[in-house]
Amino acid sequence: MTIHQKRGFTIIELLVAITVIGILMALLLPAVQSSREAARRIQCQNNLKQLGLALHNYHDAHLTLPPANIWGGRGEPLGGGLLPIGTYDRVAMGISPSMEADRLYANWVIFLLPHLGQSTLYDHFDHNLPVDDEANLDARRTILSVMRCPSDSYNETFYERALLSGTRGRSYARGNYAMNIGPNAPCFTFESGCNNGYHTGTDDLINTNSTLWGSGVGGFNVSFRFRDFSNGLSNIIAIDEIRAGIDPIDPRGVWSLGMPAASITAVHTQGPNVGGGPDGINSCTDLTLTYSETALIRLGMPCTSSPIPSNFAATARSQHPSIVNALRLDGSVESMSDQIDKELWVKLHSKDRNNP
């Protein structure tokens, strides 16, 4: 009689098998990660295509594009005569709501909501009140999938707009797309020697000015029509991909807040991502103390401060490897290399024949 015994793996065979499996996993993991990122990038591009369709539908309905933001009142008395409307954050600096109401009302995203299948959310905003008003809390905290790129690992963190001045509860949901208002220089055309700066309705920034616009597709209390783009709709970027802030006090990527870095790109002449330089945001000093300048650069989110804390500059950013996505005004979406020529970058963000 023959007795058959099952023979198990020897320790050496088991170790060899584990090693082979580990090697296979190491080889497959980058491919899996690359495949997942490709899917995320496609979804990000599809979001931009939806925004492009919404912009065209809005233009068909109103015969103009939406403004970047609606600003209430005239002048910026808190800017020391140096800051235009829309850059000094009353809530972040502790001025609003206790001392005076905020002056930022609906932005371009809020205006597009009915054209994004979000009519109910649009109606939940009280358009007669600033976005920061308590009546708009639930609406501005709404997470919009069409505004979020799945590659961004920070867009689930709410922005606490008043936390910089020590108050919680004035929360905002994040997004990853911003209207281009122009890569102009950080100066004003009424100033001597500023040929490529931003335009203002008057040179009295403190008392009477109520408009601000550059060479992009919208401004503060300023809208443009398709016929204003003499270079053609395919030759200007309307919406840039941006990154959500890495900290609750970081204002970048707030979809309902019409300020540079939140839902607007501005003063962005150098290109996308780190090569484009730092974003000008009001909380940069605090962020640098928390993370260090080196860490912010390593995270791909460098920033800078101004003498009067403000949100005044932001460029396109993403967590896609070496590219950012952008929507041209004709509705087409393109991936822009981090190494794009700076002159070309400026031209692609300018409607004016004499760029920027």
pLDDT for residue 34: 60
Is 244 strand, coil or helix?
A: coil
CA angle 296, 316, 244 (to 5 degrees): 55
pLDDT for residue 32: 47
Bridge-based pairing state of the strands 279-280 and 303-304: parallel
Residue burial 319-329, b: 16+ Cβ < 10 Å; e: rest: bbeebbbbbbb
Cα–Cα dist 109/91, whole Å: 20
Give me the residues of the chain with pLDDT under 50, please.
32
Cα–Cα dist 227/38, whole Å: 36
pLDDT for residue 355: 60
pLDDT for residue 353: 64
pLDDT for residue 19: 75
Give one DSSP letter per residue of 201-239, joined into a string: S-S-TTTT---EE-SSS-EETB---GGG-TT-GGGSEEE
